[in-house]
């Protein structure tokens, strides 16, 4: 199994480190050729409009969109969730999305960097609560048909906000499990990939 990590901008190393911890082979994806032979791909956090612009400039936007539409399992964190969405609120007019999930997301929904926070979330398919780190995070405002809500914020001003979703082989979280030291969300994705490839 080889998992790609989109590496045009953002928190690439943390995802690579988590995959190393799980003993999963991985490769950075910067060009179209890097998509060949992948069993799944992770879209990391970063600056979503910058990532979408770099994907477009590098000729990777449409091939990546086609790969995901063709069944390539994908997991996006934070900016990766924004990229996988079908509609983005509070973004620039030239921002692109991959439409891997029929969801509407709002960028920076929880506020600015100073509003970053941590929470323990019930995550469907994982037994105990998952530690979640939110950094200038989006949330999901609309889920389309066939999209399952996997986790919501349990309490506080944003109680009930949708922060993890899945549809078939594509999942996204608005938080960063790669910085929490807990590998279970990545294990969940790797298991998704394994089931798909078998």
Question: In the annotation, is 36 catalytic?
Answer: no
Summarize the annotated binding site as residue ranges. Answer: 46-48, 107, 135-136
Pairing of strands 2-6, 25-29: parallel
User: Per the residue annotation, which of 14, 16, 26, 176 is the catalytic one?
Assistant: 176
Give residue 25's pLDDT band: very low, low, confident or very high (50, 70, 90). Answer: very high
User: Per the residue annotation, which of 14, 78, 97, 186 is the catalytic one?
Assistant: 78
Question: In the annotation, is 196 catalytic?
Answer: no
Instruction: Name the pTM for this structure.
Output: 0.95
Structure tokens at 119: 């929470």
User: Per the residue annotation, which of 15, 16, 178, 186 is the catalytic one?
Assistant: 178
Contact residues for 137 (Cβ-Cβ < 8 A; gap 6+) = 78, 108, 109, 110, 116, 163, 174, 175
3-197 maps to CATH 3.40.50.880:
yes
Encode pLDDT of 120-141 as tens digits: 999 999 999 999 999 889 999 9
Summarize the annotated binding site for L-glutamine as residue ranges. Answer: 46-48, 107, 135-136
Query: For position 94, what pLDDT does the model report?
Result: 79
Higher-pLDDT residue of 129 and 158 is: 129
159-182 mean pLDDT? 95
Query: For position 114, what pLDDT does the model report?
Result: 56
Query: For position 198, what pLDDT does the model report?
Result: 86
For 42, 78, 84, 155, the CA distances from 168, given in Å and listed in that order, are 15, 19, 13, 28
Question: In the annotation, is 178 catalytic?
Answer: yes
């Amino acid at each position: 199994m080889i998992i790609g990590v989109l590496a045009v901008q953002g928190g690439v190393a943390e995802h690579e480190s988590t995959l190393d911890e799980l003993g999963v082979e991985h490769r950075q994806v910067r060009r179209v050729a890097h998509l060949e032979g992948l069993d799944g791909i992770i879209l990391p956090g970063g600056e979503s409009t910058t990532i979408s612009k770099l994907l477009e400039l590098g000729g990777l936007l449409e091939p990546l969109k086609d790969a995901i539409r063709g069944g390539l399992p994908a997991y996006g964190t934070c900016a990766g969730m924004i990229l996988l969405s079908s509609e983005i609120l509070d973004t620039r007019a030239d921002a692109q999305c991959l439409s891997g999930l029929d969801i509407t997301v709002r960028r920076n929904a929880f506020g600015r960097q100073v509003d970053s926070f941590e929470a323990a979330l019930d995550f469907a398919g994982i037994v105990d609560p998952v530690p979640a780190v939110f950094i200038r995070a989006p949330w999901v405002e609309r889920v389309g048909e066939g999209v399952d809500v996997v986790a919501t914020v349990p309490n506080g001003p944003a109680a009930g906000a949708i922060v993890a979703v899945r549809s078939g082989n594509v999942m996204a979280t608005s938080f960063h499990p790669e910085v929490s030291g807990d590998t279970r969300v990545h294990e969940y994705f790797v298991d998704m990939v394994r089931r798909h490839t078998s």
